[in-house]
Amino acid sequence: MTGRIVLVTGAAAGIGWATAQAFAQAGDRVLLADIDGARAEARAAELGAGHEAIAVDMSDGAQVAAMIAGIAARHGRLDVLVNNAGRIDGGTSVVDQTPEGFRSLLALNLDGSARAAQEAAALMRQQGGGAIVNVASGAALRAIPLRNGYSASKAGVVAMTRNQACAWAKDGIQVNAIAPGYTRTELVEKLIADGRVGPAKAARRIPLGRMGAPEEIAAAILHLASPDASYMAGALLVADGASHAYGGSEDANIVRGKAPTAPPPGAPVIAVGEGPVAQALAGMLRARGARVVPLAEMGRHGRLDGVLNSDPTPGQPGHLDRLFLGAQAAGRIMLGQGFGAIVNLTGIAGQIGLADTGPAGPEAAAVGMLTRTMACEWGASGIRVNALAAGLVEGDAPTLLPRVPLRRMARPAEIAAVAAFLLSSAAGFVSGGIVPVDGGLSAHGGLDFDA
């Protein structure tokens, strides 16, 4: 067996199991860690020869350290850690929560993930790099009554991810997080069967109009652990069907065009704008068999599967207007067909405070909110819309370079690789997001890095 050595914690069920399968299908050797050692053994056997099970209590720091030491002894390396182990609290109010119960939850969800990442990073540093994906939750972004410990722990995971990314980027360690929304895991399916969760009620809170599948979350994790995410550092990828973006008072899943439908057979048609990132993306997509056309031709080919809505003059007056018109035209086509994905390419200045960006910062922020509005209006017709917030790209002024944890500018192809993911079916539950691809610039809040 060739490929990377991948450790997935909480791997015996749900998102963890789907993730283990995804890495195995990609040709990687998967180490499945779980507190239920017997089930992990069965899962490893299901994946086939070369995959391993590890029985571990992730809330026990000594066991976590021993697990990583054992991996180092057996394999000599660890290329990817997926920090997925965790549990939810049982519906206890804040006033009724015991300190012991609160601390127990954080010991697993936050402390265990932190210890695993620290131990893994020490090994990755010796081997010259690696990737860590921390699994957070939509509960880290929005409070849920009677889930006090869970939400707090997952918010901690998000902050932990930023800190780790900024500290370890210089060592070639790629750290990012994912926040899944409502996902039809085995546990949720059982709750549905028992009448404790109503899928229709949940869907009304999701602009895409459905819950996610574990395989969709796993595909996004696979992206975050890949070279295609090489210029992402400390980013949070939200995979929740745009529910985090929705702020309306009516149902989120109102169909405003054709009902969602699967794309027809044949080569997808992708329209791209202008600029170096668009050119790099066009080359990638053509190599994968897509038909790439200019934005001006996006209504002339019988279908429109995806759009990179880019502006050749970002940061200049009119950036917002040009992206609005491009996305509006794409939305009209996609609403009539019931499928499609749009990526609005903008800058990171809308997400961070800078001394003086002129119109660049305000317009980029406006693009982000416009993107979320489109995702919420069009999601129930099967249309996903995300903003890609790019940081410094080769050719930009190096003024902010000392603030970038990766300590370099992006190559256009690195930005294009994330756009390609967002346009693909692998991002099927990712919508309404503002995805930073900035080398950690927006995650970093400390002093300038040494040259």
Read off the CATH number of the domain in which 114 is found.
Answer: 3.40.50.720
Residues 168 and 251 in one domain: no
Give a yes or no: residue 385 inside a domain: yes
Residues 166 and 253 in one domain: no
Q: Which of 150, 182, 231, 246 is catalytic?
A: 150
Give a yes or no: residue 276 inside a domain: yes
Pick from 11-20, 298-307, 312-321: least confident: 312-321
Instruction: Compute the average pLDDT of residues 83-102.
Output: 83
**Is-catalytic flag, 150?**
yes
Residues 318 and 401 in one domain: yes
Residues 153 and 261 in one domain: no
Residues 176 and 251 in one domain: no
Residues 286 and 362 in one domain: yes
Give a yes or no: residue 190 inside a domain: no
Domain of 161, in residue numbers:
5-180
User: What pLDDT does 1 receive?
Assistant: 59
**The residue type at 421:** F
Give me the number of domains the chain comprises. Answer: 2
**pLDDT tens-digit readout, 162-182:** 999 999 999 999 999 999 999
Give a yes or no: residue 382 inside a domain: yes
Residues 270 and 138 in one domain: no
Q: Do 240 and 138 contact (CB within 8 A), yes or no?
A: yes
Instruction: Compute the average pLDDT of residues 184-190.
Output: 85
Pick the residue with more confidence: 57 or 185?
57
Pick from 167-181, 193-207, 245-259, 307-321: least confident: 307-321
Residues 399 and 256 in one domain: yes
Give a yes or no: residue 192 inside a domain: no
Instruction: Compute the average pLDDT of residues 391-409.
Output: 94
pLDDT band (50, 70, 90) for residue 390: very high
Residue 316 has pLDDT above 80, yes or no: no
Q: Do 238 and 208 contact (CB within 8 A), yes or no?
A: no
Instruction: Compute the average pLDDT of residues 32-43.
Output: 98
> Last residue of some domain: 138, 160, 180?
180
Give a yes or no: residue 319 inside a domain: yes
Residues 175 and 308 in one domain: no
pTM of the model: 0.96
Residues 284 and 429 in one domain: yes
Pick from 92-106, 228-242, 322-336, 406-420: least confident: 92-106
Give a yes or no: residue 346 inside a domain: yes
> Last residue of some domain: 180, 212, 231?
180
3-state secondary structure the chain: CCCCEEEEECCCCHHHHHHHHHHHHCCCEEEEEECCHHHHHHHHHHHCCCCEEEECCCCCHHHHHHHHHHHHHHHCCCCEEEECCCCCCCCECCCCCCHHHHHHHHHHHHHHHHHHHHHHHHHHHHHCCEEEEEECCHHHCCCCCCEHHHHHHHHHHHHHHHHHHHHHHHHCEEEEEEEECCECCHHHHHHHHCCCCCHHHHHCCCCCCCCECHHHHHHHHHHHCCHHHCCCCCCEEEECCCHHHCCCCCCCCCCCCCCCCCCCCCCCEEEECCCHHHHHHHHHHHHCCCEEEEHHHCCCCCCCCEEEECCCCCCCCCHHHHHHHHHHHHHHHHHCCCCEEEEEEEEHHHCCCCCCCCCHHHHHHHHHHHHHHHHHHHHHHCEEEEEEEECCECCCCHHHHHHCCCCCCECHHHHHHHHHHHHCHHHCCCCCCEEEECCCCCCCCCCCCCC
Residues 152 and 250 in one domain: no
Residues 271 and 408 in one domain: yes
For the chain, the average pLDDT equals 94
> Last residue of some domain: 126, 155, 180?
180
Instruction: Compute the average pLDDT of residues 241-248.
Output: 96
pLDDT band (50, 70, 90) for residue 92: confident
